[in-house]
Structure 1
Amino acid sequence: MSFRPDSPASRASLPSRDRGIPCSNSVESLGKGRLSRMTWVDAVVAAAVLVLLYLTLRVGQGTTVSFSTSQSAKVNTDPGQLPYDAARSLLRMFVALLLSTVFTFVYAYAAAKSRRLERILIPALDILQSVPVLGFLTVAVSGFIALFPGSMLGLECAAIFAIFTSQAWNMTFGFYSSLASLPRELDELSRSFRFTRWMRFWKVELPSGMIGLVWNGMMSFGGGWFFLVASEAISVNNRGYALPGVGSYAGAAIADGDLARVGWAILTMAVMVIGVNFFFWRPLTAWAEKFKNEQAEASEVQRSVVLDFLRRSSWPQLLGGLLRPVGRALDTAGRVFGVDDRPLTVDPLRRRTGDLAFGAVAGGLILWGLIDLGHYLDDRTGLGVFGEPLLLGLATFGRVVVLVVVATLVWVPVGVKIGFSPRLTRIAQPVVQVLASFPANFLFPLAVWFFLRTGLSIDVGGILLMALGAQWYILFNTIAGAMSIPTDLREAMDDLGVHGWQRWKRLILPGIFPSYVTGGITASGGAWNASIVSEVVTFGGTTLTATGLGAYIAKATAAGDYPHLLAGVAVMSLYVVGLNRFFWRRLYRLADTRYAL
């Protein structure tokens, strides 16, 4: 790992007095010392934080106003309303991102550290990824409205939950992959130093997966934008609900056939995406560079104007000093409950017995749920309801395969090129972020015009709309994988004169393979999810419907037909889980055993 003055490794090697770690009774004196040296940079940062908190509180007030389920869904499409709508959408997106990050840490850690939990949690994650956003919304809207009766907070929670379901699975898969492929020697070293579980997570495991986590978080944030219309303009059981936001604004403008207001929504979306990239994601990707695992530091690293400005401020160091007692308290708690010094190998008979018992209990619960679902469908429609979605799923499956293959051939070389060049990354990151964040619904007017003008069937054109929400997972994960390849390995290849196909075969493909598998499995699941909004295209009075499982689920959701909706969601889950089990999981095992750096 490269030794940088501001890296965790370099700070850990310095005495406490040299790296600014206060004694137990010196945090207050440190704070006074920092505040006494306040500069204009500190004043600007403090003012920016206060303004941000004020705006958050002002915008958040609109989430608790009164609301009645009998109200009709009315969206104000006055362009002057867009700044407020944008603020409401941003608040939902960041709350969902925070929840997704917490979920990622807990879920991925549990799956990576427990063989028993892994056998349940990872297949469950496959199923959760396959359940469409509209499927979650159908349940979430009724549940949250009942939980917060008479308040807009119920709809807000439902929308945030829907955005969460479009973000969390990709981040969890990526972080689980980094934990599962953690070098064995790092794990053994942390055990030999008797690190607590918190110290091991904070000092070893989280830094090891930081680059992939940041880039997957960026991609997941884009996935949230993609489903913004479905999350803010909700139609369940023939009843429409709408929240103030750019997504609902665009949905209303599209329904009215108002191209001018659709254009305003597109412009607002582009400004939001570029602004979030400049002020949030760009500083994070530049900061994550210090966690790259390499022996020699790269000659050119990513830079961020915002990050450079923050580094000139004393606030980050002051905040770090104030939070260090929390870290020490967690370390102490870890020692009280015992150091995690379990052996890396467990008695096979004991493990087999425990796995069988755990599997029997989990299998029994799943079987009970399936039997109950079968009884419910048999009473209402009969089990023959599965026949139509199974056949329609074959059409959507064909589109998913074509999408993943073409996206791999197109975006893997592009992602490697971007990941290897910090200068190109600075240029391409905001462009790719805008493209990845663009909801397919915003392009429905253009798509309808193009399909009618050219005579292209929606059965084929739907692949293009599905690609808007799925192909970027492959690109972003490829970029993260290319950035994670140590600079010294690339320089060694240059010194040995290894170029062309041999360079791809010996360095690039093995180096990016684990990240590509993560991108591939989430792109595949994302394509199934995107089919719901891509196989039914509506603008004004014109509706184009493709033959596929996505259109089947969209129709059942709009009509409030729960038996057909459950059958469609179950069949989609079956396709996704089967594809993951028989194809992607085998690649995961190959990545863990052969291609982990």
Structure 2
Amino acid sequence: MTHLTWVDVVVAAAVLVLLYLTLRVGQGTTVSFSTSQSAKVDTDPSQLPYDAARSLLRMFAALAASIVFTFLYAYAAAKSRRLERVLIPALDILQSVPVLGFLTVAVTGFIALFPGSLLGLECASIFAIFTSQAWNMTFGFYHSLTSLPRELDELSRSFRFTRWMRFWKVELPAGAIGLVWNGMMSFGGGWFFLVASEAISVNQKDYALPGVGSYAGAAIADGDLGKVGWAILTMAVMVIGVNFLFWRPLTAWAEKFKNEQSEASEVQRSYVLAFLRRSNWSRLLGRALRPVARALGRAGRIFGIDDRPLDVDPRRRRTGDIAFAVVAGGLILWGLLDLGGYLRERTGLGVFGEPLLLGLATLARVVVLVIVATVIWVPIGVKIGFSPKLTRIAQPLVQILASFPANFLFPLAVWFFLRTGLSIDIGGILLMALGAQWYILFNTIAGAMAIPTDLREAMDDLGVRGWQRWKRLILPGVFPAYVTGGITASGGAWNASIVSEVVTFGGTTLTATGLGAYIAQATADGDFPHLLAGVAVMSVYVVGLNRLVWRRLYRLADTRYAL
């Protein structure tokens, strides 16, 4: 019999306090609300602890939804050849739709779903944060499923694992490191769009929710540098706290899933994880959940032990593929015709001309950003990923840098651009980089950490150094993870253009020439035809770039560089 210790008491008390605080803070999400209410944000610094708690609650709610979405969507795309042909291009499109594009629909829909309650606006804000987190995690987990080591796949089949057992025992552990680091990066992406998600301006109406993002937005609009400083300090404390209590333990725990034959001399450590491992609650919960695991295993056997492809007549398979393509293509064609009819009635199809030209300017910024970020951050990411000691130091710093919304730096950006005479058409690249470059860094770190220690030691024994080491081990080892980071960085850069091509502080507004500024203006004006045209054009650019560049690199990673 397991006896409870003082560590178990402390852990139980911490969980109860966390649940109590969640319930107390969550009470504020169900108060009455009317769409006629004007946006009011209390910018008293004493309000910041409560605002921080509300923001954290939204962020973790969105993260939970993103994890569920990742498992379901990525698994369906990886396991079904037909669904993959629809789901992956659809994910390209979803990634390309800016947060403001989702907000326009989400605010109206959720407010109608919860009339007279602030819960509708809260759900819209959580949904907006979800759209800034989910795509990166889904791309990463999908790639880990499609590049599963062949020997692990064959071993699970020889033991006749059910689908659930394969997922839980083989597929999820194989993608755990990438999933944790992509989750950390996606969480940072949620912070980046916090201002847009909490201080919502749609259809010439302003809505605001209590949170650090709306507080910072109000302080920036007022031109109050002191209160902007308080918001930045609060954000830094939140990021460091979440990193110490949540992400650091997860990254240290994920080390156990490395696919290697020798143990590394240095491993990541976490004081929180070490403390939790002294607790008996995990073992007690494991015993309590064993009946659930058995039930899932029995369900897997009912629905099929082996998921190897059946011996299907090629003619029947070809007929099924044609039928699936006809149905999917018909639905897409119907949607495009309906969109074209709507725009033809409102503005005419010439509305696409301006965003197509503006998209070229934003495309140039995206290409420059991805190239420069690759040159800078891949070597740094490899260095961090290979050194647990350096990871402990760099992880919180990178988290802070990746989590800061561009809006928080608008006062400094406006001052810098005006003082130096630097055009925002060029300076906008720097602001876009704040929300996009970190995808490359985080995925490179995850890829470097996943390289087996025995391969690195073999290179040391053979005396392989310098460029040969990069060519034979490092670049092939991190390439699959880099491709995931590159495709999400590219999509993130397009999304970040929404808040980076229009910079406002106090009474000064700087606007760049680009598609992001076009969509931001259409959203603020409630101009749905121009907003739809802008979002559609952005989707075309992103999907085209992914098809021409990133998908080819994905295939190369799967065929040549999967460990």
What TM-score, normalized by structure 1, do the two folds share? 0.94
Find the residue that maps to 1:70 and give its secondary structure. Answer: coil
Q: Matched residues in 2 for 1:461 and 1:216: separation?
A: 27
Q: Take 1:507 and 1:140, find their aligned partners in 2: how far apart are those partners?
A: 46
Deviation at 1:317, TM superposition (A): 1.2
In structure 2, the partner of 1:130 is 96
Equivalent position SS for 2:343: helix
Once the two structures are TM-superposed, the CA of residue 352 in structure 1 deviates from its matched residue by 2.7
Q: CA deviation at 1:319?
A: 1.1
- Structure 1 Cα separation of the partners of residues 9 and 207 of structure 2: 43
> Is residue 2:152 matched to residue 1:186?
yes
Within the candidate set 482, 492, 495, 2:458 is matched to 492
Deviation at 1:325, TM superposition (A): 1.3
Alpha carbons 2:163, 2:307 under 8 Å: kept = no
Output the CA distance in 2 between the equivalents of 1:88 and 1:214: 24
- The corresponding residue for 2:303 is 337
Q: Is the 8 A contact 1:279 1:306 kept in 2?
A: yes
Q: Does 1:470 align with 2:436?
A: yes
- Choose the corresponding residue for 2:197, options 196, 211, 231: 231
Q: Which of 429, 438, 443 does residue 409 from structure 2 map onto?
A: 443
- 1:67 aligned partner: 33
**More deviation, 183-192/443-452:** 183-192
* Structure 2 counterpart of 1:408: 374
Residue 417 of structure 1 deviates from its aligned partner by 0.1
Superposition map of 1:109-188 within 5 A: 109-188=75-154
Note the C-alpha offset of 1:46.
0.7
Q: For the Cα contact (< 8 Å) 1:194–1:341, is it kept in 2?
A: no
Distance 1:451 1:200 in 2: 54
Q: Counterparts of 1:199-278 in structure 2 under 5 Å?
A: 199-278=165-244
Q: CA deviation at 1:351?
A: 3.1
Query: Would you say the 8 A contact 2:132–2:189 is kept in 1?
Result: yes
How well do the aligned residues superpose, as a CA RMSD in angstroms?
0.9
1:304 aligns to what? 270
Q: Which amino acid aligns with 1:396?
A: T
Cα shift at 1:521: 0.1
Cα pair 1:420 1:482 within 8 Å, conserved: yes
Query: Match for 1:351 among 297, 317, 331?
Result: 317
Gaps of 5+ in 1: 1-32
**More displaced, 338-347 or 324-333?**
338-347
Q: What letter matches 2:490 in structure 1?
A: S
Q: Which residue of 1 aligns with 2:287?
A: 321
Q: In structure 1, the residue corresponding to 2:206 is in which secondary structure?
A: strand
Residue by residue over 1:204-251, the C-alpha shift from the partner in whole angstroms, topping out at 9 and shown as x without a partner, is: 000000000000000000000000000000000110000000000000
* 1:553 match: 519
* Larger mean Cα displacement after TM superposition, 587-596 or 188-197: 188-197
C-alpha separation in 1, matches of 2:429 and 2:538: 17
Q: Secondary structure at the match of 1:298?
A: coil
Q: Any idea what the Cα deviations from partners look like across 1:268-296, whole Å, max 9, x if unmatched? A: 00000000000000000000000000010
How far does residue 344 in structure 1 lie from its aligned partner after superposition?
Answer: 7.7
| Of 128, 150, 163, the match for 1:197 | 163
What secondary structure is seen at the aligned counterpart in 1 of 2:368?
Answer: helix
In the alignment, the residues of structure 2 paired with residue 183 and residue 507 of structure 1 have an alpha-carbon distance, to the nearest angstrom, of: 17
1:387 and 2:353 are equivalent in the alignment: yes
Q: Say if 2:511 is the partner of 1:577.
A: no
1:181 aligned partner, one-letter code:
S
Q: Report what 1:525 is aligned to.
A: 491
Deviations 1:163-207 (A, max 9, x none): 000000000000000000012222222112111100000000000
**What is the aligned counterpart of 1:94 among 41, 60, 67?**
60
2:51 is aligned, of 69, 82, 85, to: 85
Tell me the TM-score normalized by structure 2.
0.99
Is the contact made by 1:196 and 1:331 (CA closer than 8 Å) also made in structure 2? yes
Distance 1:278 1:449 in 2: 34
Is contact 2:65–2:130 with CA below 8 Å preserved after alignment? yes
After the TM superposition, which parts of structure 1 deviate over 2 Å for at least 4 consecutive aligned residues? 340-353
Give the partner amino acid of 1:75: V
2:5 is matched with 39
Task: Specify the alignment match of 1:434 in structure 2.
Answer: 400
Alpha carbons 1:469, 1:526 under 8 Å: kept: yes
**Contact 1:198/1:330, CA 8 A, preserved across alignment:** yes
Q: Distance in 2 between matches of 1:49 and 1:155?
A: 28
Q: CA deviation at 1:340?
A: 2.3
Distance across 1 between alignment mates of 2:69 and 2:311: 28
Letter in 2 for 1:408: T
The sequence identity of aligned pairs, in percent, is 88
Shift in Å at residue 350 of structure 1? 3.6
Q: Give the 3 Å change call, closer, same or farther, for CA 381–52 of structure 1 in structure 2.
A: same
Counterpart Cα distance in 2 of 1:243 and 1:396: 31
- What CA distance in whole angstroms lies between the structure 2 residues aligned with 1:459 and 1:319? 55
SS in 1 for 2:364: helix
User: Matched residues in 2 for 1:345 and 1:511: separation?
Assistant: 35
Aligned to 1:30: none
Q: 1:579 to 1:163 in 2, by over 3 A?
A: same
What corresponds to 1:13 in structure 2? none
- For residues 251 and 315 of structure 2, the distance between their equivalents in structure 1, rounded to whole angstroms, comes to 45
User: Equivalent residue for 2:471?
Assistant: 505
Whether 2:310 is the aligned partner of 1:377: answer no
Q: Distance in 1 between matches of 2:351 and 2:21?
A: 50
- 1:525-570, Cα deviation, whole Å (9 max, x unpaired): 0000000000000000000000000000000000000000000000
Structure 2 counterpart SS, 1:241: strand
